[in-house]
């Protein structure tokens, strides 16, 4: 029996992918080493053609991060990020509370405009680090963790409440039948209770758990002295700022121009390199190449899973218990659906779990009294799982873009669990509004 099992390429593929997830969870080896191992074993063990195992490296999302990391590095090297941090300190109170609110709100304002979550995280994380350093908070200190979580919540975790808040939102929206697809405003209104619960809950946890006991407050004179110490903006700094602004406009306008935002990011990186803002050695050191190797394999996983037909097997296992236990109660149906997606996310990346579960569950939504959009929203909300870091690309991008200065993984694990609970509470508290909008029967 064991010999017959191992002779099946699909079985070998299942063992490989489960093994990789276990190694990533245990964190015994560097993530990029395990990622390279996945590619090697896939091809040496003849599980399938090379294309699925390498498809992530041909993904626009991979090139998007190359460009964003390069432009972000140019901003940091030129001193523009420091000036942006001083600008935040000038507009909002230069205290932990003021800057935590500023970073959270700033990320939230960017969310509906820039649907690329990884790009927002890559841009905001260095700014949050600069604010923490300017306020004098040591690396991975209590206050630095709080500012990091406020920034990550704003730019990374609140994306589901806007249709244009994330690429995955648009992908899931596209899977809905055309006659039940909500418009931008209807999605935003239906997601408003969840937004309020997540924002208020996350901010309360951050202020209660991470506020420093002795807070340092910068006065206007201190901020002005820091601004003068930085000197005037050099032509290279001005070019870096223009390139970053142009990239941001390009990313926001990409859906309307029918051009992938990745190419605007790469264009910005090219401009900074040609202009000498990022010479060869800095281009090499600014971009986290081991992380990009790891991300390339993560982005390849949907193609690998589909090739070994594990997605179809998962659908067959999921549907019967959902139909059996979810009927007759909206609370029970939503809770069970949320728990199902959360459990699935421990095994599958968000890029695989969201389209797989959305396509699988939309047809049965009416049988359990749910509008198809409700299924989409719950799947997307529960997919924001980052208790296991390797499963949430946006979290890894944020952590990498800040060079791990703001927090270590173990320092934010409790917050990640609290965020899952807040998400479920936001969904359940949305039931009255969803009934009013005709989204629940």
Instruction: Choose among 151, 147, 137: nearest CA to 210.
Output: 147
The pLDDT of residue 1 is: 42
Position 104 in a domain? no
Per-run averaged pLDDT (10 residues), the chain, 441 residues: 60 83 76 89 88 86 78 70 64 81 84 74 84 85 93 90 79 76 85 95 94 74 66 74 77 75 84 82 81 80 76 63 67 88 81 74 77 92 82 85 88 92 96 92 74
Position 29 in a domain? yes
Position 15 in a domain? yes
Q: What is the pTM of this model?
A: 0.70
Q: Which tokens hold the place of 288?
A: 């986290």
Instruction: Choose among 57, 53, 61, 56: nearest CA to 17.
Output: 53
3-state DSSP of the chain: CHHHHHHCHHHHHHHHHHHHHHHHHHCCCCHHHHHHHHHHHHHHCCCCCHHHHHHHHHCHHHHHHHHHHHHHHHHHHHCHHHHHHHHHHHHCCCCHHHHHHHHHHHHHHHCCCCCCHHHHHHHHHHHHHHHHHHCCCCCCCHHHHHHHHHHHHHHHHCHHHCHHHCHHHHHHHHHCCHHHCCCHHHHHHHHHHHHHHHHHHHHHHHHHHHCCCCCCCCCHHHHHHHHHHCCCCCHHHHHHHHHHHHHHHHHHHHHHHCCCHHHHHHHHHHHHHHCCCCCHHHHHHHCCHHHHHHHHHHHHHHHHHHHCCHHHHHHHHHHHHHHHHCCCCHHHHHHHHHHHHHHHHCCCCHHHHHHHHHHHHHHHHHHHCECHHHHHHHHHHHCCCCCCHHHCHHHHHHHHHCCCCCCCHHHHHHHHHHHHHHHHHHHHHCHHHHHHCCCEC
The pLDDT of residue 223 is: 64
Position 18 in a domain? yes
Instruction: Choose among 247, 302, 240: nearest CA to 66.
Output: 247
The pLDDT of residue 328 is: 64
CB proximity list for 182: less than 8 A, separation 6 or greater: 163, 173, 190, 373
Domain boundaries, position 12: 2-48
| Residue 249 to residue 102: CA distance in whole angstroms | 21
| Residue 165 to residue 116: CA distance in whole angstroms | 7
Cα-Cα end-to-end distance for the chain: 48
Instruction: Choose among 435, 342, 321: nearest CA to 392.
Output: 342
The pLDDT of residue 15 is: 85
The pLDDT of residue 79 is: 66
Position 14 in a domain? yes
CB proximity list for 225: less than 8 A, separation 6 or greater: none
Q: How many domains does one find in the chain? A: 1
| Residue 275 to residue 264: CA distance in whole angstroms | 17
The pLDDT of residue 429 is: 96
| Residue 119 to residue 152: CA distance in whole angstroms | 12
């Amino acid at each position: 029996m064991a010999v017959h099992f191992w002779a099946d390429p699909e079985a070998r593929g299942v063992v490989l992918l489960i093994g990789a997830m276990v190694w990533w969870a245990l964190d015994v080896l560097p993530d990029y080493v395990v990622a390279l191992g996945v590619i090697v074993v896939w091809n040496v063990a003849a599980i399938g053609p090379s294309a699925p195992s390498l498809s992530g490296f041909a993904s626009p999302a991979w090139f998007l991060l190359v460009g964003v990391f390069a432009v972000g590095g140019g901003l940091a090297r030129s001193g523009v990020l420091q000036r942006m941090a001083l600008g935040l300190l000038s507009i909002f109170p230069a205290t932990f509370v003021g800057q935590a609110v500023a970073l959270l709100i700033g990320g939230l304002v960017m969310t509906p405009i820039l649907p690329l979550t990884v790009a927002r995280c890559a841009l905001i994380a260095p700014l949050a680090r600069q604010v923490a350093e300017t306020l004098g908070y040591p690396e991975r200190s209590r206050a630095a963790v709080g500012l990091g979580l406020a920034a990550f919540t704003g730019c990374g975790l609140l994306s589901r409440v806007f249709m244009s808040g994330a690429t995955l939102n648009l992908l899931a929206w596209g899977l809905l039948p055309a006659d039940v697809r909500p418009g931008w405003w209807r999605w935003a209104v239906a997601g408003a209770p969840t937004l309020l619960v997540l924002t208020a809950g996350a901010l309360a946890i951050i202020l209660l758990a991470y506020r420093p006991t002795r807070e340092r407050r910068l006065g206007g004179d201190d901020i002005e002295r820091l601004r003068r110490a930085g000197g005037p903006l050099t032509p290279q700094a001005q070019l870096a700022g223009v390139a970053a602004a142009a990239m941001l406009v390009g990313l926001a306008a990409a859906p309307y121009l029918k051009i992938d935002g990745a190419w605007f990011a790469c264009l910005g990186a090219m401009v900074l390199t040609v202009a000498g803002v990022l010479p060869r050695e800095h281009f090499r050191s600014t971009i986290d190449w081991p992380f990009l190797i790891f991300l390339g394999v993560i982005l390849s996983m949907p193609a690998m899973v589909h090739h070994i037909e594990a997605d179809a097997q998962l659908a067959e296992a999921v549907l019967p218990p959902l139909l059996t236990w979810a009927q007759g109660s909206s609370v029970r149906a939503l809770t069970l659906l949320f728990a199902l997606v959360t459990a699935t996310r421990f095994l599958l990346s968000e890029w695989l779990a969201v389209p797989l579960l959305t396509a699988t569950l939309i047809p049965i939504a009416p049988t359990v009294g749910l509008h198809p959009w409700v299924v989409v929203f719950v799947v997307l909300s529960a997919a924001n799982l980052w208790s296991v870091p390797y499963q949430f690309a946006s979290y890894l991008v944020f952590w990498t873009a800040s060079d791990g200065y703001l927090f270590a993984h173990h320092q934010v694990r409790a917050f990640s669990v609290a965020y899952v609970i807040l998400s479920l509470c936001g969904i359940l508290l949305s039931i009255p509004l969803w009934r009013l909008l005709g989204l629940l029967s």
